[in-house]
Amino acid sequence: MVAFFILSLLLSSCGDIFIEKDLLQRPQAKRCSDCHSEIFREWEKSRHAVAWKSEKFKVESENYTKNKCLSCHAPHQVEPEIKPALRVEFKEDGVSCVACHFKEETKAMHGPHKVWSPPHPSKQDLNYTKSFFCAGCHQETYKEWHLTKVQKSCQDCHMPSMGDKRLVQKFPFEYFHSKKARHDHSFPTGKAKPEDLLIELERGEGLRLKITNVGIPHNLPTADQGDPKLYIIVDAKLPSGESSRVVRVLSYQAKNALLYRIPTHIDLPWQGVEKLEVSLQRKLSWKEEREEILRVTLK
Ligand code: HEC
Ligand code: HEC
Ligand code: HEC
Ligand code: HEC
Ligand code: HEC
């Protein structure tokens, strides 16, 4: 214990000699895993880590020749106000650790905490906890979110809290640093819950389905360049005994996504139908298969 205390005093008084200079020269993400191995393993699973390598991106950017496409998928330095510039080195790392954390102006790693980090300078910056941090790339989604005036941030849902944990897993640093608030760097997309969507049947002149997104503070689906889809599939048994189906496909491209708290109406062509079966399915832009969000029977 005493030895640790003396050692830590020593470390803090001559911190500079512990700086590992290559960390300030924009290394590969793999280098950060020498100490931040847990965060690295989460990030590795994220869509950010494959933003450049994604087969679909490769095809749609015409084998990386469409210049206007490249910079958000391999950014140099993330800024909320502007589309980032294209990175020169290690493009295969996609949206990488240094792109989000290293700032040329201060030659330090910026992040949400006040830390003492001998291997590299760090600077606390509370903008990391705000949705605006994501706005330079998720431009459309950010605008949608901003209009909803919901307090929950992108990070609250897509970098959920993991409680207090150590930021480093390397001897001896792990013993000198207290546990701190950690956030999931796998950037989970998540999935709408049944209660996020309100589905009602209106019987007036004709039959009308009313669907409201009450839980997700951006369009459903939302996109900047991807093409995720939401399928609304309505099945009915007609009085004649025949089965009939209506399908609507919602997307950003078709400009018919579900807006936050503004209902979408779908007129149904049937008469004398007693009950309907409604299934909502989503298809993420990077997945082939659909997944069901909910299924309800309406009377
Ligand atoms: C040799 C070990 C080591 C390496 C390699 C390393 N770091 Fe760190 N880093 C630390 C230590 C120690 C801390 C402080 C941890 C604490 O206080 O809990 C830290 C803290 C941080 C923080 C938190 C800053 C804050 O304010 O919240 C960020 C961000 C960070 N590092 C990014 C990186 C990135 C990006 C890389 C790769 C380029 C990297 N680090 C490589 C040791 C390292
Ligand atoms: C440098 C640009 C950039 C920044 C900054 C950025 N992202 Fe992303 N993000 C992307 C790209 C590009 C993709 C798509 C990667 C792919 O699937 O090929 C993506 C994908 C995602 C996905 C997965 C979406 C899906 O279709 O499943 C989530 C969730 C996400 N980002 C959340 C965030 C959050 C939260 C922030 C802010 C903390 C953020 N992003 C900041 C560029 C960025
Ligand atoms: C302003 C930043 C930005 C630019 C510029 C950009 N993208 Fe993206 N791209 C994103 C973000 C953010 C996502 C995450 C999903 C979404 O919101 O659409 C994404 C997702 C994607 C996806 C779906 C994920 C995947 O890997 O399948 C493809 C494909 C894609 N982009 C292709 C392109 C192409 C082609 C261009 C040029 C026409 C381009 N992007 C330009 C930010 C950008
Ligand atoms: C798309 C941008 C983005 C990428 C890529 C990214 N981070 Fe972060 N990181 C953030 C944001 C935003 C926070 C703050 C989250 C919060 O406080 O809500 C954060 C927080 C942190 C923290 C503080 C502890 C925590 O979990 O909140 C460390 C340390 C860190 N990141 C290191 C890394 C390392 C190492 C990598 C690469 C393996 C990496 N980050 C990749 C955006 C990013
Ligand atoms: C209250 C939680 C919440 C907040 C806040 C939130 N999202 Fe989402 N987001 C979700 C859920 C849940 C999904 C999955 C929807 C589904 O089932 O497909 C999603 C989906 C996405 C997708 C994938 C495309 C899609 O429609 O499935 C992207 C990209 C995204 N969010 C980005 C963001 C960004 C950027 C912000 C901040 C501006 C943000 N989100 C704020 C919950 C949230």
Find the ligand nearest to 119 CA: 1
Pocket of ligand 4 (CB under 6 A): 29, 32, 36, 39-40, 43, 48, 95-97, 100-101, 111-113, 128-129, 133, 155, 159, 167, 181-183, 185
C-alpha closest to that of 122 among 207, 212, 36, 234 = 36
| Burial class (CB within 10 angstroms; exposed 0-12, middle 13-18, buried 19+) of 97 | buried
If one residue of 73, 78, 142 were mutated to test the ligand 3 pocket, choosing by the most ligand atoms within 8 A of its CB, it would be 73
The rounded Å distance from CA 155 to ligand 5 centre is: 10
* Exposed e or buried b per residue across 161-191, where buried means at least 16 C-beta atoms within 10 angstroms of its C-beta: eeeeebbbbeeebeeeeeeeebbbbbbeeee
Query: Is 13's pLDDT higher than 50?
Result: no
Does the CB atom of residue 232 touch ligand 5 within 6 A?
Answer: no
Find the ligand nearest to 177 CA: 1
Average pLDDT of the residues in 84-95: 98
Q: What is the pLDDT of residues 106-153, one digit of tens each?
A: 999 999 999 999 999 999 999 999 999 999 999 999 999 999 999 999
Q: Higher confidence at residue 152 or residue 9?
A: 152
Find the ligand nearest to 226 CA: 3
190: left (phi over 0), alpha (psi -120 to 50) or beta: left
Q: What is the pLDDT of residues 256-270, one digit of tens each?
A: 999 999 999 999 999
Query: Is 3's pLDDT higher than 70?
Result: no
Which numbered atom of ligand 1 lies nearest the CA of 114?
26
